[in-house]
Amino acid sequence: MKHKLFTLILSGLAIFLFSFVIKGGKEESTENDTCKRDESVEKCKGDLNPFRYSGVKTTHIVSKPYDQIIEVAMPLYFDTEYRFVFNLDGLNPNIKVEVYDKTQRDDSRKKLFESSAKHFQYEPDPSLGLNRLYINYVVPPVESSGESETIEKGCVVFTAGYKNV
């Protein structure tokens, strides 16, 4: 009985020490989230006028050591004028917003618009007769510093407005 208890305590101690060694080998990462969704939405809304609010989409961006393209699809109605307002406050200034007529899976797609500003608007040309637009957030890689790592996070707020009610 005494022997069993001793073995149990010893294994518990071993597990504790092992986990301590594992944890000690790598620094814990911290997060720096710059997303201020509500403030960004307010800013975007202000610029939608005189277009009528239709929808909002927040896309969270987490910087990675490799390139990323995050795609958001926006269905369009024929004969309707749209205005899109983007806000990228707090994000890496090298992030680009590109707008295409087709998805990134389609090689024949055409780029309709591009910007790397922090806050801007875009009005697609209704005469193009598109029924979808594809918004690509092109996120460049961030170099890992090795030891203590800070994960950079933020968000793009995209609001859509339309005319013709």
Partner 1 sequence: MHRLSYLTAVLVFFFVSCGGGDQAKENQQRQEEIKAEVQNEVEQGLDEGEEEEFDFVMPSALQITSIFSRQGAEFNKQYTNELSNVNNYLTKESKLLNLGVYTSDLCYCVLNNQSQLSIEYLKAVKKISEDVGMASIFSSGPIFERFENNIGNRDSIIYIMADLQEQTDLYIKRSDQEHLTMMIFAGAWVEGMYIGLQNTENLKQGNDIVPRIVEQMTLLANLIMGLELQPAQTEKVQKYQEMYLDLRAFFENIEGVNLETFEYDLSKITDEDLMKIKDKVSEIRNSIVSVNS
Question: Residues in the site for partner 1, rule: CB under 8 A?
Answer: 37-38, 41, 45, 52-60, 62, 70-75, 77-78, 102, 106, 131-132, 158, 160, 162, 164-165
From the CB of 122, what's the least distance to partner 1, in Å? 14
Give 23: exposed, middle or buried? Use CB within 10 Å, 0-12, 13-18, 19+: exposed
Closer by beta carbon to partner 1, 16 or else 69: 69
Question: What is the rounded distance in angstroms from the CA atom of residue 121 to the CA atom of residue 61?
Answer: 20
> 116-143 b/e with 16+ CB inside 10 Å = b?
eeeeebbebebeeebeebbbbbebeebe
- Residue (8 or 73) nearer to partner 1, CB: 73
- Give the residue with the Cβ less far from partner 1, 23 or 52: 52
Structure-derived torsion over alpha carbons of residues 142, 145, 149, 153, reported in degrees to the nearest 10: -10
Minimum CB separation from partner 1 for residue 47, in Å? Answer: 14
Q: State the minimum distance, in angstroms, from the CB of residue 62 to partner 1.
A: 8
Closest to partner 1 by CB, 23 vs 37, is 37
